[in-house]
Amino acid sequence: GENVEQHPSTLSVQEGDSAVIKCTYSDSASNYFPWYKQELGKGPQLIIDIRSNVGEKKDQRIAVTLNKTAKHFSLHITETQPEDSAVYFCAARLGGTSYGKLTFGQGTILTVHP
């Protein structure tokens, strides 16, 4: 089955710096890659996603890049703010169909220091 590896497990940055979280996946047929932000005691919130026919997508301070050849995708957060502190999960859609289940990475605890 699909396997998603996420690094780093923890990331600490100063406010205003950039943060990058990387994920690799094993199933080359995967075609959808979302990123979720989870605050303590809450459910995950979809913050950005990318499909396999696109190499990069940006939404204000957040961007995601996808390298299908290398089977890895990354989340980039610029001008980080303390409210960006949370756990971030990457995921990949298994099997290359729009109805497959998501496989999640292990999560990254991001801490932004004021």
Partner 1 sequence: GAVVSQHPSWVICKSGTSVKIECRSLDFQATTMFWYRQFPKQSLMLMATSNEGSKATYEQGVEKDKFLINHASLTLSTLTVTSAHPEDSSFYICSARGDITHYEQYFGPGTRLTVT
Q: Which residues bind partner 1 (CB under 8 A)?
A: 32, 34, 36, 41-46, 49, 51, 89, 93, 98-99, 101-102, 104-107
Could you give the CA distance from residue 98 to residue 80 in angstroms, rounded to a whole number? 32
Contact 10, 111 (CB under 8 A): yes
From the CA atom positions of the chain, what is the Rg in Å? 14
d(CA 81, CA 92): 27
Q: Which of residues 11 and 102 has its CB atom nearest to partner 1 in the complex?
A: 102
Nearer to partner 1, 1 or 114 (CB): 1
Q: What's the min distance (Å) between Cβ of 16 and partner 1?
A: 27
Nearest residue (CB) to partner 1, 72 versus 104: 104
Residue 76 and residue 65 in contact, taking contact as beta carbons nearer than 8 Å? yes
